[in-house]
């Protein structure tokens, strides 16, 4: 059995179910309690779980992320939300120097079982300080796990696994996916971290992607199919740990790769993947790996300019044809 719900509702269900399952789970962040989150994900939680488990915080990311690290070290399981992933610079020390390193620096004696939820991405005309995709920023620091789902079913199953994980997990949610309505399984389920998913099987080229760009890749694949080009779409879902086996399997079948990401191209996670594939799978490649990413500019406020700033299906189609010399 299944039901059709939005991505935002799926995230809310995951939080609700985990709070019912484990009294050590609590949530906090700006406007999380009374307002129920700026995207209404936690609406009604304050009334059900009370102010000790649903906590509104001041506008102080360093403060409340630091508090989450301390709470996790003491055995609780905080789920803390940044209103936008752009604000990660405000909490850099507790996240990157504390949460990410504590297990290693204590010789495994202490863990930090916390989740940092962070809405990300462009398309809502939020301008340069509220529109970035910073996945490579998070992936750079050993000790953090990084998740970036696209579907409602994936978002729910992966968030439940993230909350149960004993290490810090950054859970990236594209803002324009919240309203997507899709089928999810009824009842209890989880999806393991570190497991990619083939969203479309193909033989001619592999598109590796994640988050919102999965849908653009699928749209591009449908366009290319009409021209006789069969594309495989591999949704990583989890960036750290990376499902390298899934990449090897797909590239060994298609022998051509493009990597699609909304993030700025310079210094991107797409660039890291491209280098790793070139280093380790060179003999499997029929052509160089190509990246299709956002432009190396600040995200514009202008709707016309913003829409040109990140990859669309037509950009992916052109990239596939370049790689295949079509």
Residue 108: partners with Cβ closer than 8 Å, 6 or more residues away: none
3-class secondary structure, 34: coil
Q: Which residues pair with 147 in a beta bridge?
A: 171, 238
Count other Cβ atoms within 10 Å, centred on residue 93.
13
List the catalytic residue out of 130, 182, 232, 306.
130
- List of residues 6+ apart from 162 with CB closer than 8 A: 115, 145, 147, 169, 171, 193
Query: Quick one: which of 137, 117, 144, 100 has its CA closest to 241?
Result: 144
What's the CA gap between 162 and 172, in Å, rounded? Answer: 11
Peptide bond into 241 cis (omega under 30): yes
Tokens describing residue 92: 């850099």
Give the active site residue among 61, 135, 173, 213.
Answer: 61
Contact of 222 with 202, CB cutoff 8 Å:
no
Interatomic CA distance for residues 250 and 141, integer angstroms: 27
Grouping H, G, I as helix, E, B as strand and the rest as coil, residue 115 is: strand
Establish whether 130 is a catalytic residue. yes
Q: Is 187 left (phi over 0), alpha (psi -120 to 50) or beta?
A: left
CA-closest candidate to residue 236, choices 182, 273, 278: 273
Return the half-sphere exposure (C-beta side, CA atoms, 13 A cut-off) of residue 296. 4
CA atoms within 13 A on the CB side of 19: 20
Active site residues: 61, 130
């Amino acid at each position: 059995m299944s039901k059709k719900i939005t991505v935002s509702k799926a995230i809310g269900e995951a939080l609700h179910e985990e709070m019912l399952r484990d009294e050590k789970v609590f949530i906090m962040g700006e406007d999380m309690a009374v307002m129920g989150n700026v995207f209404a994900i936690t609406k009604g939680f304050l009334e059900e779980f009370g102010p000790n488990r649903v906590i509104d915080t001041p506008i102080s990311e360093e403060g409340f992320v630091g508090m989450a690290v301390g709470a996790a070290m003491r055995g609780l399981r905080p789920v803390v939300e940044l209103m936008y992933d752009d604000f990660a610079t405000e909490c850099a020390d507790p996240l990157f120097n504390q949460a990410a390193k504590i297990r290693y620096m204590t010789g495994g004696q202490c863990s930090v079982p916390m989740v940092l939820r962070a809405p990300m991405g462009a398309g809502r005309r939020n301008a340069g300080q509220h529109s970035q995709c910073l996945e490579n920023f998070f992936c750079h620091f050993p000790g953090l796990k990084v998740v970036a789902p696209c579907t409602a079913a994936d978002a729910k199953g992966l968030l439940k696994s993230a909350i149960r994980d004993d290490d810090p997990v950054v859970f990236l949610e594209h803002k324009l996916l919240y309203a997507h309505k899709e089928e999810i399984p009824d009842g209890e389920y989880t999806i393991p971290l570190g497991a990619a998913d083939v969203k479309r099987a193909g033989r001619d080229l592999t598109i590796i992607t994640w988050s919102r760009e999965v849908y653009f890749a699928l749209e591009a694949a449908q366009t290319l199919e009409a021209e006789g080009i069969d594309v495989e779409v591999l949704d990583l879902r989890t960036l750290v740990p990376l499902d390298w086996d899934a990449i090897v399997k797909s590239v060994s079948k298609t022998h051509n790769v493009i990597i699609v990401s909304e993030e700025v191209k310079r210094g991107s996670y797409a660039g890291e993947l491209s280098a790793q594939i070139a280093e380790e799978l060179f003999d499997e490649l029929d052509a160089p790996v190509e990246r299709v990413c956002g432009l190396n500019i600040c995200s514009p406020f202008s709707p016309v300019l913003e829409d040109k700033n990140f990859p669309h299906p037509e950009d992916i189609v052109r990239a596939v044809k370049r790689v295949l010399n079509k």
